[in-house]
Structure 1
Amino acid sequence: MALLHNPIFLLLLIVVLGELLGKVHLRSLALGPPAIIFVALAFGHFGYTLPQGVQTIGLAMFIYAVGLQAGPGFVSSFRRHGLAMAVTVAAIVSAGVAVTYLCCRLFDFDAGTGAGLFAGAMTSTPSLAAAVEVIGHDTAPAAYGVTYGFGVLGVALAISLLPRLLRRNIVAEEAALAAELAAVNPPITHRHIEVNNPNIFGKTVLELGLKAIAPVTLTRLLRFGASEPVLVGADTILDAGDKLRIVGRPADLDKVQLLIGPAVAGEIAFDRVLTKKSIVVSKREFAGTTLGYFNFREVFNVQIARISRNGIDLPADAHTRLHLGDVLHAVGDERSLRNITRILGNDLKATYSISLLPILVGLLFGFLLGQLSFELPLLGRLTLGTTGGTLLAGLLLGARYQTGPLIWDLPDTGSQLIRDLGLALFLAAVGTSAGVSFVATLHEHGLALLLSGVAVTLLPVAIGTLVGLWLLRVRFLRLLGVLVGAMTSASGLNAASALSATPYAPAAYATVYPVALIGKIIAVKVLLLLL
């Protein structure tokens, strides 16, 4: 068919057929998006291939979206869990070298075939490039083509089956990690206290210097003997017997309580005058603006008690920069709240809109970073490449959130679309490329090479699971990200994300990816020395 030589038609056909195949369920198991590579291998075998550029842009889109998602929590994740994750990656890469070496000795593979076996089964294109630089193009690329297909699919299948094999409840794991996160970043709550410290009688809230003690907000004041509370401002004077509602994290509330007075029971509720309202920041021009810029308390007589962002409560500090989609929990009279609502937008649908320019600028930035190269001892010159560059760009821009008018962050639906589309393009191009030499190389080396590829893919994952989960006590959802990051597997990360929509696996993937990238380049050179 002439149409099959049209790269656009061929790409769409492979992706559509792969998506349809991925939706076929055998009992409760479905291949999902990685099924695209099976269809692509078939077309590649018959000589229908896609341009290299399709693979490059697909991989860049996928990795960039991952970096954006992981960026905000990358630094804190590495500080708390980096060592255990790095050790797990080292165990996985070392296991890959050991299994490859044993297979080469068992089946009498030459050094080039062994290097291609390692690079393909461990899905590491930079390792293949390093091997070719040393030994040439003779056998390594062909072995890579045979083993890479299962390397892509095998990791995804292993990750999908791991919860069943280990009898892990994903919901329970999410709850355990949420509790761990809450311990590190406790939720914001409120407490009622009574003013009984004589040293602060007659002083204004500003004179107390609370910001130097703890990041809390005084929201309501019930005067001694009064029946209706009022909002608290910087010039509010405190007297004996007054009752205050303070908002903050428990440990911070304890500090303020030592200064002002003991906690009291009861509620400080508004009757008719003041009400509560949650307002969504949906106007893009206010993203990145500090809360203090609006001066809600003085201008509108409205108090912001706290800010909710991505399910986490933040203190309503004047220096807190607002993000698109932030929810402000405000207290004030209805007219003032309506005015603030008009200013900030309060349109949830608007927060899901996507601007194309920041995405394209981010990808371009990633490609430029990918051109950077470094001289490393024993390794020679190392180039970040498309994958490393776009991951680094995603991490940097995701952590920064905004530069001028450009908001780098994406809503979940937009991020998922870019990831899925990028993965589909990547798998289609990789599959057609590997399909060209798949049968010929398989015929030359027999099933030995294919089975060796299966072993080099699955055994390191199993060893990494043992080391990470039981020896180093890495949380299961984070371990999924560590495993796919160590295998530098885009399809594996997609499988991990399908198991849980939480950001733990992507954050772990981004944390260990640079370690795995450099570690595998070192490993393939060590392997060539051994062979």
Structure 2
Amino acid sequence: MFLLKDPVIALFVCLGLGHLIGRIRVGPVVLGGVCGTLFVALAIGQMGVTISPHLKDTAFALFIYALGFSAGPQFFSNIRGGWRYGIFSFIEVICVLGLVAGATVLFDFDAGTSSGLFAGAATESAVLGTASEALGRLPLAETEILRLQANAATAYSLTYLFGLVAIVVFTTQIAPIILRVDLRKEATALAAQLGEDEEGADQPDALPTFVGRVFRAGPAAGKSIADFELSRGSTVFIERLKRGDDLLQPPKDFVIDADDLLFLHGRRSAMISIETVVGPEQPVPSDVSIPLARQQVVVQRKEIAGMRVRDLRAVAPAELSRGLFVESVRRMGHTIPALPKTRLQEGDVLTLYGPQTAVSRAVKELGAAVRSEEATDLVFLGIGILVGLLLGRLSLDVAGMTLTLGTGGGALIAGLVFGWLNMRQPRHGNLPVAAASFMKDFGLATFIAAIGLSAGPDAVALVMKYGLILPVLGILVSTIPAFVSLLVGWKLMKIEIPILLGIIAGQHCSTPTISALVAQSGNSTPVIGYTVTYAISNVLLPLLGPVVVGLSNIFIQ
């Protein structure tokens, strides 16, 4: 056990063992690596091992900047046009602040315990970082500051666990019972409403969404290319046509003969049913190659924001968009249904599929191609974090309180702005998705491990003092805002049930909850609401960490 007293060894034991424990699944609930890391760190911290505060601050800066960078494009897009759903993030903030304030007065919590309750019950780990930083700026002795930070970590670990279980169970089990609905049926109906029936349900994910096949024209004889494609709802296109020995790329008004070979590509579901309107399938000639391409593009044109997927064909002339499909839509790192009536946002990443020339034209019309380069632009990254750190040093005295963004708030805002700039100019500031994910995962886990190790024996003292109070509060503070949002979205705003439940998961910034919802729904329609509130809550909640610390000090004076 003496090896664990080495800070480097202790850190990686916390990370590895914590994430292993975090994989434990109980029904629809997965503990998660962050909470698992904190549990292990609290245990090892009893031996007195600590990690340098400089490493802790560096890890948190990396995490919070990457969080802002990833959220930037959607955050600013939702600021302009997503407030119908974004209002639920404010419901979350107001309810959680009110409940934590009430608990602080009722149970005489110190600032550390209050901020830990806020972070854990709202299941937003970043709040623990901004609150711990605010605690470190209090005019108190170092030992007292360390005690408050330890209380924050312990309160977070207890309330996060119970708050996570509560919000997952509420959204997947209790809310459908309250609404008296079958969530899977509601999600299926919503997918149909968004146009799934227009293109048909595709095969399981293991099979390709789009395929190419060759058929004898047969019954399709006498139709023009345009009439044939229109009759299939523009889900199947004639990419080439072979007449005799000639391979043609015919215009739209070209009339089909019965013996022509049609080289078709389109959605698998549509291709399966096409044999009823054409002749028998034929083998693909060995000397024929039809170039089809797949390219990711980030949406930059403001006029496209709010447009439906099926309306994209109106952006370019019909001849230029022939054979072009939107294969998937990624928003905030999550895939949302690429159905005809799905509405797009600025910053969405579309995967286009079709002829190379059509794909290239579409990329120019929509925005900019996503770079395939995997290297991180460290110049852009360094400047971004530096700007955030300088911004965090600014302060303002209000009513006897010194308000400052601190490292966390400054880096978060810098990340938002630099992420938005990267979306507008993808050639600069490259931060690949995988790199940003690593920065968030490793940075947060390292920060949490440092907090847990420093908590030490103070963690046991807090648990002995409050017993079951903190777990019960974690459940209440987690579910009451969700219940309020459920009533507002259902009774007042009439939002579709799967989207509403996704909104509630997003206002909690709870990835395990949206994963459980998608599994329960049978499709990804809840993600449509999740990404809006997730983007806004991911900014609002961390910024409130210092506010909770300040209010707690006022209440206990």
Shorter-chain TM range is 0.5 to 0.7
1:370 counterpart (389, 393, 402): 389
1:459 counterpart (461, 476, 481): 476
Determine if the alignment matches structure 1 residue 122 to structure 2 residue 99: no
Q: Distance in 2 between matches of 1:388 and 1:322?
A: 23
Question: Displacement of 1:494 after TM fit?
Answer: 5.2
2:153 counterpart (145, 148, 160): 148
Superposition pairs of residues 316-331 of structure 1, within 5 angstroms: 326-330=351-355
Contact 1:117/1:140 (<8 A) preserved? no
Contact 2:505/2:513 (<8 A) preserved? yes
What amino acid is the match of 1:354?
Answer: E
Q: Distance in 2 between matches of 1:29 and 1:323?
A: 29
Distance of aligned partners of 1:364 and 1:65 in 2 relative to their CA distance in 1, 3 Å threshold: same
Superposition pairs of residues 65-464 of structure 1, within 5 angstroms: 65-78=66-79, 79-80=81-82, 81-104=85-108, 114-123=110-119, 124=127, 125-127=129-131, 136-137=140-141, 139=144, 141-152=146-157, 154-168=159-173, 172=184, 175=187, 179=191, 182=194, 278-281=292-295, 305-306=324-325, 308=327, 310=329, 326-330=351-355, 354-355=374-375, 357-358=376-377, 361-362=380-381, 364-372=383-391, 373=394, 375=396, 377-378=398-399, 381-399=402-420, 400-401=422-423, 403=425, 405-406=427-428, 408=430, 410-411=432-433, 413-439=434-460, 441-442=461-462, 447-464=464-481
Cα displacement string for residues 162-181 of structure 1 (whole angstroms, at most 9, x for unaligned residues): 33345448984994798599
Question: Displacement of 1:279 after TM fit?
Answer: 0.5
Distance of aligned partners of 1:386 and 1:133 in 2 relative to their CA distance in 1, 3 Å threshold: closer
Question: Displacement of 1:44 after TM fit?
Answer: 1.3
Contact 2:18/2:37 (<8 A) preserved? yes
Question: In the alignment, what sits opposite 1:263?
Answer: none
Contact 2:159/2:471 (<8 A) preserved? yes
Question: Displacement of 1:46 after TM fit?
Answer: 1.1
Q: Distance in 2 between matches of 1:90 and 1:361?
A: 35
Distance of aligned partners of 1:3 and 1:396 in 2 relative to their CA distance in 1, 3 Å threshold: same
Q: RMSD value over aligned CA atoms?
A: 5.7
What amino acid is the match of 1:408?
Answer: N
Question: Displacement of 1:41 after TM fit?
Answer: 1.0
Question: In the alignment, what sits opposite 2:19?
Answer: 19
Question: In the alignment, what sits opposite 1:60?
Answer: 61
- Find the residue that maps to 2:355 and give its secondary structure: strand
Distance of aligned partners of 1:182 and 1:453 in 2 relative to their CA distance in 1, 3 Å threshold: same
Q: Distance in 2 between matches of 1:431 and 1:364?
A: 30
Distance of aligned partners of 1:24 and 1:475 in 2 relative to their CA distance in 1, 3 Å threshold: closer
Q: Distance in 1 between matches of 2:186 and 2:413?
A: 27
Q: Distance in 2 between matches of 1:322 and 1:478?
A: 19
Q: Distance in 2 between matches of 1:386 and 1:498?
A: 31
- Find the residue that maps to 1:50 and give its secondary structure: coil
Distance of aligned partners of 1:43 and 1:158 in 2 relative to their CA distance in 1, 3 Å threshold: same
- Find the residue that maps to 1:475 and give its secondary structure: helix
Q: Distance in 1 between matches of 2:189 and 2:382?
A: 31
Contact 1:44/1:432 (<8 A) preserved? yes
Contact 2:163/2:477 (<8 A) preserved? no
Determine if the alignment matches structure 1 residue 35 to structure 2 residue 36: yes
Question: Displacement of 1:15 after TM fit?
Answer: 1.8
Query: Higher mean Cα deviation, 134-143 or 392-401?
Result: 134-143
Superposition pairs of residues 519-530 of structure 1, within 5 angstroms: 519=544, 521-530=546-555
- Find the residue that maps to 2:86 and give its secondary structure: helix
- Find the residue that maps to 2:50 and give its secondary structure: coil
Question: Displacement of 1:95 after TM fit?
Answer: 0.8
Question: Displacement of 1:97 after TM fit?
Answer: 0.4
Question: Displacement of 1:518 after TM fit?
Answer: 4.7
The alignment's TM-score, normalised by the length of structure 2, stands at: 0.59
Question: Displacement of 1:12 after TM fit?
Answer: 1.5
Q: Distance in 2 between matches of 1:523 and 1:9?
A: 34
Question: In the alignment, what sits opposite 1:10?
Answer: 10
The alignment's TM-score, normalised by the length of structure 1, stands at: 0.61
Q: Distance in 2 between matches of 1:103 and 1:420?
A: 34
Cα displacement string for residues 283-323 of structure 1 (whole angstroms, at most 9, x for unaligned residues): xxx99999xxxxxx9xxx996745555367699xxxxx999
Q: Distance in 2 between matches of 1:129 and 1:69?
A: 23
Q: Distance in 2 between matches of 1:471 and 1:160?
A: 23
Question: Displacement of 1:156 after TM fit?
Answer: 4.6
- Find the residue that maps to 2:456 and give its secondary structure: helix
Distance of aligned partners of 1:159 and 1:278 in 2 relative to their CA distance in 1, 3 Å threshold: farther
- Find the residue that maps to 1:84 and give its secondary structure: helix
- Find the residue that maps to 1:371 and give its secondary structure: helix
Distance of aligned partners of 1:97 and 1:307 in 2 relative to their CA distance in 1, 3 Å threshold: same
Contact 2:100/2:114 (<8 A) preserved? yes
Uncovered stretches (5+) of structure 2, i.e. residues with no partner: 120-126, 177-181, 200-222, 227-233, 240-246, 255-276, 279-283, 302-315, 330-334, 341-345, 365-369, 491-498, 519-523
Contact 2:50/2:453 (<8 A) preserved? yes
Question: In the alignment, what sits opposite 2:258?
Answer: none
What amino acid is the match of 2:39?
Answer: F
Uncovered stretches (5+) of structure 1, i.e. residues with no partner: 105-112, 196-215, 222-227, 240-265, 291-296, 316-320, 345-349, 485-492
Distance of aligned partners of 1:55 and 1:362 in 2 relative to their CA distance in 1, 3 Å threshold: same
Question: In the alignment, what sits opposite 2:485?
Answer: 468
Distance of aligned partners of 1:53 and 1:455 in 2 relative to their CA distance in 1, 3 Å threshold: farther
Distance of aligned partners of 1:70 and 1:513 in 2 relative to their CA distance in 1, 3 Å threshold: closer
